[in-house]
Amino acid sequence: MSIFGIAKRGFGRAVKKYKQSKIASGKATRSERIKYGERSPDIKSVPVSKTVTKEGAEASVKKTKSDAYLKNIDEVNKHQRNIHKGKEAAKKLEHMVDTKRAYKIGKKSIHPSDPGKKKQIGAD
């Protein structure tokens, strides 16, 4: 074996010992923990939720949609308050209309869209 091969083997052991001390101190990354034996690449410890039923899932979807609607309302209101400061807020409102997080009635009236409803009133 050449001098470089021996050095490489020795350095490998030194690196492994360093990585294991880093893992022990809690400062290692996930890839280091997987490579040096402190973490399995598969997630095995996530328990099955006991609250997932048909009714629970529907309530969860409804809650998520209402949260998204509230977020849309807050963002539209924030941009409408900031619209006198410049074109940036107007561009953001137009982007919300383009991505269907808001809709226009007429030329200037912009309203937040509700993800829980199929078709918005007055939306084009």
| pLDDT tens digits along 2-49 | 556 556 666 777 777 888 888 888 888 888 877 876 666 666 676 666
Span 68-92, average pLDDT: 87
User: What is the rounded CA–CA span in Å between residue 35 and residue 31?
Assistant: 6
pTM: 0.50
- Evaluate if residue 61 carries a pLDDT over 90: no
Mean pLDDT over the full length of the chain: 78
Report which DSSP code applies to 115: T
pLDDT at res. 73: 92
The C-alpha angle 34, 39, 44, rounded to 5 degrees, equals: 125
3-state secondary structure of 17: helix
- Evaluate if residue 103 carries a pLDDT over 60: yes
User: What is the rounded CA–CA span in Å between residue 110 and residue 124?
Assistant: 12
3-state secondary structure of 4: helix
| Rg of the chain over all Cα atoms, to the nearest angstrom | 27
Span 51-68, average pLDDT: 77
Q: Say which residues have a Cβ less than 8 Å from residue 91's Cβ, sequence separation at least 6.
A: none
Enumerate the H helices of the chain as residue ranges: 3-25, 30-35, 54-82, 87-98
Higher local confidence (pLDDT), 15 or 75: 75
Instruction: Give yes or no for a contact between 93 and 85, defined as CB atoms under 8 angstroms apart.
Output: no
